[in-house]
Chain A
């Protein structure tokens, strides 16, 4: 009996947290735009969330593309189908690896930083002091960070995919001697912009929304102690990773099902 009560309580707590996070996000982003203060804050956050994530995204993309190129070549060459490497590389990166790996890296690099920063602002009473100066921290702190994450993630996903394809090209063509014309023409013939590229971008938009939402909520609602901030940061990475992987399945099923 106690187990059922605890399970019920657990379910209610989860629903309550989701509800609170929804209200916080709603209050933060649904309001009259304030370009005078909002735009400079957005640019600052785009730099912090987006530009500073570029290095890890590009380096990871390069290596992942190189690995996929190497593995793909070694498998395809056994069947005499190495010419199809461009197709394999582009589809696997644009459809799946690009959005998912970018999302996971984004959660680890930018999501955790957002949570820690907002949590520390809460612990040092900066958010309270902002409230006392009649400035709503949801508008001044949460909203620009949310929009910056939401805008950055698809751009980072596109950059990741482009760099990964170049990494695969470098391994397959420059290193292993695959014909460049076959590599690019096969890729061009098999990749459909609307089905493959656009769907990949839609995934990055969804992942960007979810990761940034989780990150700002965990920071804003964390227990304002060093332990609380640590836990919130961990939760951001764990919840975001799980959300990305599960949503990727749902989105892929919807996309393949011809929604």
Chain B
């Protein structure tokens, strides 16, 4: 794929005995919104952590803007991470400091700007997510949606090249979901970012994505623009995109004993 900023090449990763990825590959195009979709527990968040170098694959490479993430020294990895932003599912704000200080944190850590300049920068970032007025609140005083918006302002504080969103819509009301969708799209287009979105909210993610990867059972089972996946005839893709309760992914967890027999066994 032309002009990929992130290349995941044949990665394998396991947690204990459980295989999460088995020689999985995907490319993230620069300047686009790419969504990683798949059922719960398939390893979507794990994939983001692999891209960020927080986890290391047992096999394969993750290339970020020409650098092999897994072969970098700790120091170099931290330098590369200045080019990445991550929005965690919970927001992951520092609970002992205010909204303002949360957004100012990465700026204070990595620059020698004056407090007046930092104040301006923080207010610009907070204004872009619509929360300039909430700058003196503590994280415990924010709603879930507001916390994610503050976390988004913090994630873009250092003007990263790539921003990764971990389940940004989960548990949000329709209004907040709409706000977050608008913000993700707006950030991507106006700041020239590359966005990697992990989500299983099909409609919302599809409406703003340029490209979708569908993961299932350790592999990428489908990929393409949202409209292609929406109209796919592949039963597995169809089941996920249309939210069907039964199909290739069975409704019933496999059991070694027949249902009727199981009930009779209880009586005996």
Interface residues of A (CB under 8 A from B): 37, 124-126, 128-129, 131-136, 140
A27 to chain B: closest residue by CB: B74
Partner of A133, one of B74, B95, B105: B105
Instruction: Check if B110 is an interface residue, CB within 8 A of chain A.
Output: yes
The answer to whether B109 and A133 touch across the interface, beta carbons within 8 angstroms, is yes
Neighbouring A residues of B108 by C-beta, 8 Å? 37
Partner of A125, one of B81, B92, B109: B92
Partner of B78, one of A37, A125, A129, A136: A136
Neighbouring B residues of A135 by C-beta, 8 Å? 78, 105-106, 109
The answer to whether B95 and A124 touch across the interface, beta carbons within 8 angstroms, is yes
Q: How far is the CA of A128 from the CA of B82 in the complex (A)?
A: 14
In angstroms, how far is the closest chain A Cβ from the Cβ of B79?
7
Take A133-B109, A135-B106, A135-B109 as given contacts and tell me if A128 and B79 are in contact as well, using a CB distance cutoff of 8 Å: no
Q: How far is the CA of A136 from the CA of B82 in the complex (A)?
A: 12
Q: How far is the CA of A53 from the CA of B141 in the complex (A)?
A: 28
**Contact flags (1/0) for B80-116 with A, using CB distance below 8 Å?**
0110111011101111000000000110111000000
The answer to whether A132 and B81 touch across the interface, beta carbons within 8 angstroms, is yes
Q: How far is the CA of A135 from the CA of B75 in the complex (A)?
A: 10
The answer to whether B81 and A131 touch across the interface, beta carbons within 8 angstroms, is yes
Chain B residues touching A, range: 20 to 34
Instruction: Check if B232 is an interface residue, CB within 8 A of chain A.
Output: no
Instruction: Check if B206 is an interface residue, CB within 8 A of chain A.
Output: no
Neighbouring A residues of B109 by C-beta, 8 Å? 37, 133-135, 140
Instruction: Check if B197 is an interface residue, CB within 8 A of chain A.
Output: no
A125 to chain B: closest residue by CB: B92
In angstroms, how far is the closest chain A Cβ from the Cβ of B55?
11
Q: How far is the CA of A135 from the CA of B86 in the complex (A)?
A: 13
Q: Can you list 25 A-B pairs with a CB-CB distance of less than 8 A?
A: A37-B109, A124-B90, A124-B92, A124-B95, A125-B89, A125-B92, A126-B93, A126-B94, A126-B95, A128-B86, A128-B88, A129-B86, A129-B92, A132-B86, A133-B81, A133-B154, A133-B158, A134-B79, A134-B81, A134-B106, A134-B109, A134-B110, A135-B78, A135-B106, A135-B109
A136 to chain B: closest residue by CB: B78
The answer to whether B82 and A129 touch across the interface, beta carbons within 8 angstroms, is no
Taking each of A125, A129, A135, A140, which has the highest tally of chain B beta carbons within 10 Å of its own beta carbon? A129
Neighbouring B residues of A136 by C-beta, 8 Å? 74, 78
Q: How far is the CA of A96 from the CA of B114 in the complex (A)?
A: 51
Q: How far is the CA of A148 from the CA of B84 in the complex (A)?
A: 32
The answer to whether A131 and B110 touch across the interface, beta carbons within 8 angstroms, is no
Interface residues of B (CB under 8 A from A): 49, 52, 54, 74, 78-79, 81-82, 84-86, 88-90, 92-95, 105-106, 108-110, 151, 154-155, 158
Neighbouring A residues of B84 by C-beta, 8 Å? 132
Neighbouring B residues of A37 by C-beta, 8 Å? 108-109
Neighbouring B residues of A133 by C-beta, 8 Å? 81, 105-106, 109, 154, 158
**Besides A128-B92, A133-B106, 20 other A-B contacts (C-beta < 8 A):** A37-B109, A125-B89, A125-B90, A125-B92, A128-B49, A129-B92, A129-B151, A131-B52, A131-B81, A132-B81, A132-B84, A132-B85, A133-B81, A133-B105, A134-B79, A134-B82, A134-B110, A135-B78, A135-B105, A136-B74
Q: How far is the CA of A129 from the CA of B110 in the complex (A)?
A: 15
The answer to whether B52 and A132 touch across the interface, beta carbons within 8 angstroms, is yes
The answer to whether A126 and B54 touch across the interface, beta carbons within 8 angstroms, is no
Q: How far is the CA of A136 from the CA of B76 in the complex (A)?
A: 12
Neighbouring A residues of B49 by C-beta, 8 Å? 128
What 6 A-B pairs are tightest by C-beta distance, nearest first? A129-B92, A125-B92, A134-B81, A132-B86, A133-B106, A134-B78
In angstroms, how far is the closest chain B Cβ from the Cβ of A247?
32
In angstroms, how far is the closest chain B Cβ from the Cβ of A24?
13
Q: How far is the CA of A131 from the CA of B80 in the complex (A)?
A: 11
B49 to chain A: closest residue by CB: A128
Neighbouring A residues of B82 by C-beta, 8 Å? 134
Neighbouring A residues of B90 by C-beta, 8 Å? 124-125
Q: How far is the CA of A126 from the CA of B219 in the complex (A)?
A: 30
